[in-house]
């Protein structure tokens, strides 16, 4: 059964990779996240969108590039600023 924690873990892994590569931002679409986590299986797109929203911080410089905040769509895309302010503890991936 798909879990939102699976999506969160993958987002944090993507943040870590972006930090290692000294990227100033990371763009994630729900469709891309869905493919990485559920590998074209019967994952639930709403879990990907919800996990992305939980990491979204407009005050940190994040922006929604495609879609609206409550949308469930493969095209829903957020640009996250790196590094994540005040979120160092969340960058640990189990």
Phi, psi (5° rounding) for residue 27? -100, 125
What Å distances lie between residue 11 and 8, 48, 49, 78, CA to CA? 5, 9, 11, 11
Is pLDDT above 50 for 91?
no
Per-residue model confidence as pLDDT tens digits over 30-48:
999 999 999 877 779 999 9
- Global pTM? 0.86
- Asked if residues 54 and 73 have their Cβ atoms less than 8 Å apart, the reply is no
Q: How far apart are CA 65 and CA 72, in angstroms?
A: 14
pLDDT number for residue 87? 55
Is pLDDT above 90 for 61?
yes
With tokens 């100033």, the residue in question is 24
Is pLDDT above 50 for 90?
no
Is pLDDT above 60 for 85?
yes
């Amino acid at each position: 059964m798909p879990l939102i924690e699976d999506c969160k873990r993958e987002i944090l892994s993507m943040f870590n990779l972006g930090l290692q590569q000294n990227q100033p931002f990371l763009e994630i679409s729900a469709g891309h996240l869905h493919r990485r986590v559920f590998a074209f299986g019967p994952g639930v797109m709403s879990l990907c969108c919800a996990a992305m929203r939980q990491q979204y911080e407009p005050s940190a410089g994040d922006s929604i590039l495609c879609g609206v905040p409550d949308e469930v769509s493969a095209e829903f895309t957020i640009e996250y600023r790196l590094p994540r302010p005040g979120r160092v503890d969340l960058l640990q991936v189990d």
